Amino acid sequence: MSDSASAPKMPQHARMSQFDVVDNCLQIGGLPLPELARNIGRTPFYAYDSKVMDAQVTALRTALPPEIHLHYAMKANPMPEVVRHLASITDGLDVASAGELRVALQTGVNPACISFAGPGKSAQDLTAAVTSGVIINMESVGEMQRIAALADSTGTRPKVAIRVNPDFELKSAGMKMGSGPKPFGVDAEQVPAMLEEMASLPLEFMGFHIFSGSQNLREQAIIEAQTKTFELAFRLSQSAPCPVRWLNIGGGLGIPYFPGEQRLDLNPIASNLAELVEAAKVQLPGVEIVMELGRYLTAEAGIYVCEIVDKKVSRGETFLVTNGGLHHHLAVSGNFGQVIRKNYPVCLGNRVEGDTPEEVNVVGPLCTPLDILGHRVTLPAAAPGDLIVIFQSGAYGLTASPLDFLSHPHPAEVLL
Under the rule (CB under 6 A), what is the footprint of ligand PLP?
73, 75-76, 94, 117, 211, 214-215, 250-251, 292-296, 395
- Nearer to ligand PLP by Cβ, of 72 and 205: the residue is 72
> Contact, 386 vs 305, CB < 8 A?
no
**Nearest distance in Å: CB 298, ligand PLP:** 8
Non-local CB neighbours of 153 within 8 Å, separated by 6+ positions: none
**Nearest distance in Å: CB 100, ligand PLP:** 11
> Contact, 205 vs 198, CB < 8 A?
yes
- 28-49: buried (b, 16+ CB within 10 Å) or exposed (e) per residue? bbebbbbebbeebeebbbbbbb
**Nearest distance in Å: CB 295, ligand PLP:** 3
DSSP string over 254-313: ----STT-----HHHHHHHHHHHHHHHHHHSTT-EEEEEESHHHHGGGEEEEEEEEEEEE
- Nearer to ligand PLP by Cβ, of 73 and 203: the residue is 73
**Nearest distance in Å: CB 336, ligand PLP:** 12
**Nearest distance in Å: CB 231, ligand PLP:** 20
Contacts 24+ apart (CB under 8 A), 220-223: 220/268, 221/170, 221/171, 221/172, 221/173, 222/170, 222/252, 222/253, 222/264, 222/269, 223/268, 223/269, 223/272
Rounded CA-CA distance 49/20 in Å is 12
- Nearer to ligand PLP by Cβ, of 294 and 374: the residue is 294
- Nearer to ligand PLP by Cβ, of 215 and 392: the residue is 215
Q: What is the number of the residue whose Cβ is closest to ligand PLP?
A: 294
- Nearer to ligand PLP by Cβ, of 75 and 327: the residue is 75
> Contact, 63 vs 275, CB < 8 A?
no
- Nearer to ligand PLP by Cβ, of 97 and 318: the residue is 97
**Nearest distance in Å: CB 207, ligand PLP:** 15
**Nearest distance in Å: CB 257, ligand PLP:** 12
- Nearer to ligand PLP by Cβ, of 32 and 294: the residue is 294
